[in-house]
Structure 1
């Protein structure tokens, strides 16, 4: 058995605003969208995420995730320079002892998005 990919599903009651954040700020593309279902698939390079409105089977009061979404990149400096004045910063760019240069922002739902590049 082999796992081929992981595509996180971001639940939100701000469906349109979330799609706009990921497509306009982070430059994702829309791969599929169904407004009746309240669902969209977004992609950028090798990364795919899904956006969904909660349904009756999904207990949902507000966006909650007990972790972060970590994106590896090949040019964290350029990404930092492009995003730092357009987003809500969680922490600024820094080189950490685990040999990663990274920063984190919040998306429009307050999910934490981390971006990092190996310093090795």
Structure 2
């Protein structure tokens, strides 16, 4: 195995792209290409972290087992450098689940909820 790129199901592609751009992600690719119809899929990247986003409707027939609910019972754990600067930059724009805290295993972390109710935890081993 070489990598993992979660494909998150979302209701509003444009709102999701806007949200993740505020976090520092850059849009890499869309289907269809930008300006050629309603978006059904997008890939965004920040450093070595990649997320794919897909509309529920685009897989309704292919993967009916995908639940049509926002969020889910999973958490995305994202290692970063400069966690305090990231927190200061994005905290006024997002819903904070818990602010900066030092964990029992030594990481400094904070968690947010994205616009689709997925939980993102950012972490750094500040040493």
TM-score, normalisation: structure 1: 0.90
Aligned residue pair count: 117
Structure 1: 5+ residue runs without aligned partners? none
Equivalent position of 1:5 in the other structure: 3
The structure 1 residue matched to 2:116, chosen from 109, 115, 119, is 109
Query: How far apart, in 1, do the equivalents of 2:14 and 2:39 lie?
Result: 13
Q: Once superposed, which parts of structure 1, at least 4 consecutive aligned residues long, lie more than 4 Å away?
A: none
CA RMSD of aligned residues (A): 1.4
Does 2:107 align with 1:100? yes
Structure 2: 5+ residue runs without aligned partners? 33-37
- 1:1-120 matches, within 5 Å, as 3-23=1-21, 25-35=22-32, 38-54=40-56, 55-56=59-60, 57-58=63-64, 59-120=66-127
Q: Is the 8 A contact 2:78 2:121 kept in 1?
A: yes
Query: How far apart, in 2, do the equivalents of 1:61 and 1:50 lie?
Result: 17
How far apart are 1:112 and its partner, in Å?
A: 0.4
Q: Is the 8 A contact 2:72 2:117 kept in 1?
A: no
Query: How far apart, in 1, do the equivalents of 2:26 and 2:92 lie?
Result: 22
TM-score, normalisation: structure 2: 0.85
